[in-house]
Amino acid sequence: MKTLLTRRAVLKGGLALGAGLGLGLRIPIGNSAVAQGVGVLAPSQWLAIDRDGIVTIVNSVPEMGQGSLTTMPMIIADELDADLAKVRVEQAPANPTLYANPVTGRQAYGGSRGVRDHLQIWR
């Protein structure tokens, strides 16, 4: 049995593959923590506080052994006088417009500067 691959079959397969990939990609419209819902205070793209006192921080600093996922909640809890057990951290999506390093202007990090560069924003 001989199967002939036609141009039409290739085009249909390519369109189906492209549509499947396009639908499977996550398009970030907004961050779940900062989404303005009922009872959520979100003064910036970096912070959200819900009515139960859960503080959610959006972290654009990658955790590479420098302690940013530990240090940042401690700083925020101290500044807000919040219970550290109620502070959550979400990783920021790739969006340099919203989550760029305030010192370099890019969403890229190096030199163990993540916490130091964001300290004023977190305060």
Residue 54: inside a domain: yes
Residue 96: inside a domain: yes
**Domain range for residue 57?**
31-122
Residue 63: inside a domain: yes
**Number of domains comprising the chain:** 1
Express each pLDDT in 67-100 by its tens digit: 778 888 888 899 889 999 999 999 888 887 887 7
Q: Decide if 46 contacts 122 (C-beta within 8 A).
A: yes
Q: Can you say whether the dihedral through the CA atoms of 70, 122, 113, 99 is positive or negative?
A: positive
Express each pLDDT in 53-71 by its tens digit: 899 988 887 777 777 788 8
Q: Tell me the pTM.
A: 0.59
Residue 13: inside a domain: no
For the chain, the three-class secondary structure string (H helix, E strand, C coil) is CCCCCCHHHHHHHHHHHHHHHHHHCCCCCCCCCCCCCCCEEEEECCEEEECCCCEEEEECCCCCCCCHHHHHHHHHHHHHCCCHHHEEEEECCCCHHHHCCCCCCCCCCCCCCHHHHHHHHHC
